[in-house]
Structure 1
Amino acid sequence: MKHFKSFFKDVWNYVKVWRELSSIVVGFILWMKSHILLRWIDPTSATYDAGIFQIILFAVIALFVLHGVVRILMKLIWPTTDNYLDNEFATDFKTLESWQKLKLTTSIFFAFLFAAVLLARVL
């Protein structure tokens, strides 16, 4: 029993740090139970199979590959920007006002989100 509690405490601490995992779990649960709602609305409706997740997986893979390609191109074409991102960006970010940090952070988040959705629609 003690080992059981320790396991769940470790899992809970992990989930507290990686809160984003909860949205993935909720998404999978909704997908697993979506057939109930779909069939209630339309008894003749078909549901997606598990292959639909390949689109998301390929979009994530493409995002990582393109991120690597862009960083390599930055290093080759304009090495000053690559050096800035690696060595000075964190220091400069800490000196920003809170509203500037918020604006920059949400812009980057939505840029990544938009890129992932765009890649998922293109693939």
Structure 2
Amino acid sequence: MKTIIDRLKKIAIKLKPLWGYFKVWRELSSLAVGLLLWIQSATFLHWIDPTAGTYDAGVFQVYLFAIIGIFILHGIVRILMKLIWPTPEDYLDHQFMNDFKTLTPWQKLKLSTFIFFAFLFAVAFLARTL
């Protein structure tokens, strides 16, 4: 038990400089937790079932390609909007931020939540179709 505590202390000392990033980019903490769980999943699975197989690092390629696909599709959609229908493109670039500030808090919450889950659905959908 003492060795685990010593390991955690050493890890905490090494991660201390990164703590400032985690304060600003809270999303990094979910990535860190996910990677830590994935690393420890082999030990946990073998503890439950000694004959269990584990995944290799290649499983993350699916999500990486899905994220790359989102960026590519986002760029294509923005280019098409600019070429075919430039009015909404101009609005998104120049006026949307001012209009967003005038929304009521519940409208901001609904819009932000919708956008978050739309991106989450898009990545999950692309990851399952790749």
Q: Determine the C-alpha separation between the residues in 2 that align with 1:41 and 1:70.
A: 47
Aligned counterpart in structure 1 of residue 41 of structure 2, from 29, 34, 37: 34
Does residue 12 in structure 1 map to residue 24 in structure 2?
no
TM-score (norm 2): 0.85
- 11-20 or 90-99, which moves further after superposition? 11-20
Where do 4+ consecutive residues of structure 1 move more than 3 Å? none
Instruction: Supply the RMSD in Å over aligned alpha carbons.
Output: 1.6
Q: Determine the C-alpha separation between the residues in 2 that align with 1:42 and 1:113.
A: 32
Q: Determine the C-alpha separation between the residues in 2 that align with 1:27 and 1:8.
A: 19
Does residue 43 in structure 1 map to residue 69 in structure 2?
no
Q: In structure 1, what residue type is equivalent to 2:41?
A: S
Aligned counterpart in structure 1 of residue 72 of structure 2, from 65, 90, 94: 65
**How many residues are aligned here?**
117
Percent identical pairs in the alignment equals 64
Does residue 52 in structure 1 map to residue 59 in structure 2?
yes
Q: Determine the C-alpha separation between the residues in 2 that align with 1:26 and 1:8.
A: 16
TM-score (norm 1): 0.89
- 87-96 or 40-49, which moves further after superposition? 40-49
Aligned counterpart in structure 1 of residue 102 of structure 2, from 95, 99, 102: 95
Does residue 104 in structure 1 map to residue 111 in structure 2?
yes
Does residue 80 in structure 1 map to residue 94 in structure 2?
no
- 35-44 or 111-120, which moves further after superposition? 35-44
SS in 1 for 2:51: coil
Does residue 24 in structure 1 map to residue 28 in structure 2?
no
Q: Determine the C-alpha separation between the residues in 2 that align with 1:12 and 1:41.
A: 33
- 33-42 or 96-105, which moves further after superposition? 33-42
How many Å apart are 1:39 and its aligned residue?
A: 1.8
